[in-house]
Structure 1
Amino acid sequence: MATGPSVDEGVRTMLLLMPRLVGRAKRLPVPESLRSFSLAPRHLSLLAYLLFDGPLGVNELAARLEVAPTTVSLMVGDLSRSGILERNEDEADRRRTIVSIADRYRADVEGWLAGGAGAWRKALDPLTPEQRQIVIDTLLTYEREVERAAPKSDG
């Protein structure tokens, strides 16, 4: 016998839960040192990749963020002019630029992401690897389907 909610009950629960999750995530306090930079959620994703995965090239960041390299170049340009990011030449390929979080801001970025990371760790830790994959796959499917259902803009 199956336990847990029906699909419709699950949909209802998730539709009520998602706005609260997003609202709480948006209320994570931006560190004082970063408040004046008007950082958007897309910046947080870029900073998270650099924090968790280390220095990356623009094309690697674009692939992970699923945006065009020109979009990442613009974001990196803004954040490097602000001093949050550093751009360095790749010693192995001088045509390639490697992007990293400036040491001055690394601890603040870590602190900013720690609240969300800690919450996810507490939520995912009791699950088996297979169950974690189901959660991740479910959220990715939701993201994809919401994007697919969104009206396309003409611009």
Structure 2
Amino acid sequence: MSTQGPEAGLSTDEAIRAMLLLMPRVVARVKRTPLPERLRPLNLAPRHLSLLAYLLFDGEMTVNALADRLEVAPTTVSLMASDLSRQGVLERRADPRDRRRTIVAITDEPETRAAIEGWLSNGAAAWRTAFASLSGEERAMFVRTVRAYESAASDAAP
């Protein structure tokens, strides 16, 4: 890789090499992030992290809205929400405007909410630092690029 500053740019091959070397370190670091004690017995998977992040940042929402955002079937969200409800992490209730719809929210139990906030705050703080020097357009391009990578990686999976 070039010894010039990042403003010099990277060729496609240099960028691929850099990312292939960097991503395993990023994944390993994320995996080493300790789960708060309250959440350890819950056997959470990455999809649970995304579901909890949506509910924490955007507030309660319907099963269908969560399914759209997570890009999974509503039955998948319903199963995850049922499981986390039984464990006291989420609350499910009928939508008062349409009783056929179910609204999902993080429980009001302070210890659980604090555990979820603490778990997500480590990553949020790291992203805040990483994005601080970027313009809004550069941040948007980064997010689009990671989405495109995730999509291409999913398409390439056997």
- TM-score, normalising length: structure 2: 0.92
Are 1:127 and 2:138 counterparts? no
In structure 2, the partner of 1:102 is 107
Structure 2 residue 34 is the aligned partner of structure 1 residue 20: no
Q: CA deviation at 1:135?
A: 0.4
1:5 match: secondary structure: coil
Tell me the amino acid that sits aligned with residue 13 of structure 1: A
Aligned to 1:141: 148
> Match of 1:96, SS?
strand
Unmatched 5+ residue regions in structure 2?
Answer: 1-6
What value does the CA root-mean-square deviation take over the aligned residues?
1.0
Query: 1:1-80 alignment to 2 at 5 Å?
Result: 3-80=8-85
* CA distance in 1: counterparts of 2:21 and 2:73, whole angstroms: 33
Query: 1:55-75 CA distances to partner (integer Å, 9 max, x unpaired)?
Result: 010000000000001111110
Residues 8-51 of structure 1: CA deviation (Å, up to 9, x unaligned):
11100000111111111111111101111111111111000000
- Could you say which residue in structure 1 is the equivalent of 2:97? 92
* Structure 2 residue matching 1:94: 3-state secondary structure: strand
Q: Which residue pairs with 2:4 in the alignment? A: none
- SS of alignment partner, residue 83 of structure 1: coil
Mapped partners of 1:96, 1:69: distance in 2: 11
For residues 49 and 22 of structure 1, the distance between their equivalents in structure 2, rounded to whole angstroms, comes to 21
Deviates further, 114-123 or 18-27: 18-27
What's the TM-score, normalizing by structure 1? 0.94
Q: Distance in 2 between matches of 1:114 and 1:100?
A: 18
List, as ranges, runs of 4+ consecutive aligned residues in structure 1 with deviation greater than 2 Å: none
Letter in structure 1 aligned against 2:25 = R
Q: CA deviation at 1:4?
A: 1.8
Percentage identity across paired residues of the two chains: 61
Following superposition, the deviation at residue 93 of structure 1 comes to 1.2
